[in-house]
């Protein structure tokens, strides 16, 4: 995979969009609902599997370096020990799989993109909830 300037800018842009989505939250019991998952799936759909996953790896690295990019303004290495870290790990897989499904398709349509996102949202949530339950 070649990293052109366009590729790097797009990956960084979706890392920033995921950060913005972390601050737009709907209060729910235990784990808040944020717009992060929408931007994660969009990264996979619009950038493709590899670059979409790369954007989420970049997002996690930025957060682990200490910048407050995760939901609730969290950041730093200590977030690895929080029960919600599984949600962040699921972002990489979700972006990759959503992009891979559409890459295998010959024609892109709004309906196919919507179905791909609707199918992978529950799978993303299942992986995240499993990590959350194991951590508590």
Give 56-111 pLDDT, tens digit per residue: 999 999 999 999 998 778 888 988 888 778 788 888 988 998 888 888 877 777 77
Closest CA to 81 of 41, 46, 34, 131: 131
Q: Check residue 134 and give its pLDDT.
A: 61
Q: How long, in residues, is the chain?
A: 136
Average pLDDT, the chain: 83
Q: Confidence class of residue 28 from pLDDT cuts 50, 70 and 90? A: confident
Q: Check residue 57 and give its pLDDT.
A: 96
Q: Where are the alpha helices (DSSP H) in 1-136?
A: 5-23, 36-47, 49-64, 85-104, 110-135
Examine the pLDDT at 135 and tell me if it is beyond 60: no
Q: Check residue 8 and give its pLDDT.
A: 92
Q: Check residue 43 and give its pLDDT.
A: 93
Least confident of 19-23, 29-33, 89-93, 98-102: 29-33
pTM: 0.82
Q: Check residue 111 and give its pLDDT.
A: 78
Closest CA to 40 of 129, 131, 128: 128
Cα distances from 60 to residues 7, 31, 42, 78, 84, in angstroms, run 18, 18, 17, 13, 13
Examine the pLDDT at 131 and tell me if it is beyond 70: no
Examine the pLDDT at 46 and tell me if it is beyond 70: yes
């Amino acid at each position: 995979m070649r990293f052109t300037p366009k590729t790097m800018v797009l990956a960084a842009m979706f890392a920033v969009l995921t950060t913005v989505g972390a601050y737009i939250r709907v209060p729910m019991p235990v784990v808040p609902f944020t717009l992060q998952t929408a931007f994660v799936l969009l990264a996979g759909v619009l950038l493709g599997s590899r670059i979409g996953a790369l954007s989420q790896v970049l997002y996690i690295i930025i957060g682990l370096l200490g910048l407050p990019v995760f939901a609730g303004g969290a950041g730093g290495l200590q977030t690895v020990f929080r029960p919600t870290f599984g949600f962040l790990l699921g972002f990489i897989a979700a972006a990759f799989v959503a992009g891979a499904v559409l890459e295998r398709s010959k024609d892109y349509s709004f309906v196919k993109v919507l179905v791909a996102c609707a199918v992978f949202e529950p799978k993303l949530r299942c992986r995240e909830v499993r990590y959350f339950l194991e951590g508590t």
